[in-house]
Amino acid sequence: MYELYQVGEKSYYIDCPAKIGVYLAGDTDVYLIDSGNDKDAGRKVRKLLDEKGWNLLGILNTHSNADHIGGNSYLQQQTGCRIFSSGIEKCFTEYPVLEPSFLYGGYPCKDLRHKFLMAKPSRVSDFSDEAFPKEVEIIPLKGHFFDMAGFRLPDDTVFLADCLSSQETLDKYQIGFIYDVEEYLNTLERVKSLKAKRFVPAHAPAAEDITELADMNIAKVHEIAEHILSICSEPVSFESILQRLFSDYGLVMNFEQYVLVGSTVRSYLSWLKDRGELSAVFEDNILLWKQNQVTPKAESM
């Protein structure tokens, strides 16, 4: 863990729970792609950079989930490096309480105000800032989170953040976090058409071809959607849907999983409702979800 692997002429990644990219922009100047999940991750990264004699110029954040920005504050305080993000991700990085608040849907209790959901704040510049390395291509990867982005480095290595999960990760967590299901599926279709010398997803092995992995993730989304529809064959509340999914997929409920999986399931419900496959009705002051019956098309004579 926290070993450095070279994947391109100027590209490396640090092996950790959410891979950290390293772009060697000069003889000794480097940019990180994300920073790990906490202060301890930041310390380990800095030690590795010091051992290589590398100078940290900046951190390019793919998105604002705490496991990707947790080392920002420490590294910025220690090195004075710039941190770059954009859109809603920039806001969440500057004001990290927004993540647990968004997930919970209100002010988060202490059980949710911890480093796994709420990083330390850091000072952030937009991707449009003059100091952003212009030779790095920004690749929109919306869906997993609001304005998530990937990066193509000059040696044609592409860092894909959280848009792809390995088979092992899918089997372990079953219902991976998704903010916008439609955008996520659109992103996966676009990713399938990308060409590069090497792809580096944050939660899957680096590979030269990620088409099969993308199809695997797409299939998992449709599997979960079909399962939700089957649960909604009769009117059912959100809490009952969530309980069934946890039971059926062998998941264990706690506060963190309640908000992460719960937020994702709400996103599935929104997507299925917008597609006309679910209806939402209120009965006895309870919101219930019900699968719409599809009328078979009459066969033409």
Task: Specify whether 133 is located in the same domain as 214.
Answer: yes
Based on the domain organization, do 113 and 241 belong to the same domain? no
Whether residue 207 is found in the same domain as residue 257: no
Q: Are residues 127 and 257 in the same domain?
A: no
Residue 77: CATH number of its domain: 3.60.15.10
Give 73-100 pLDDT, tens digit per residue: 999 999 999 999 999 999 999 999 999 9
Closest-CA residue to 272 (of 224, 215, 217): 224
The residues with which 148 forms a beta bridge, in sequence order, are none
pLDDT at 301 over 50: no
pLDDT for 104: 98
CATH label of the domain that carries residue 242: 1.10.10
Q: Which structural domain range is residue 39 located in?
A: 4-221
Report the distance separating Cα 276 and Cα 273, nearest Å.
Answer: 5
Give residue-wise pLDDT tens across range 242-276. Answer: 999 999 999 999 999 999 999 999 999 999 999 99
Phi, psi at 288, each rounded to 5°: -120, 145
Which of 221, 243, 267 terminates a domain? The answer is 221
Is residue 297 in some structural domain? no
Q: Tell me: pLDDT of 300 over 60.
A: no
189 shares its domain with 212: yes
Verify that 90 and 200 share a domain, yes or no: yes
Does residue 192 share a domain with residue 64?
Answer: yes
Same structural domain for residues 247 and 154?
no
149 and 276 within one domain? no
Domain identity same for 216 and 236: no
Q: How many domains does the chain have?
A: 2
Buried b (16+ CB within 10 A) or exposed e, 23-37: bbbeeeebbbbbbbb
pTM (2 d.p.)? 0.95
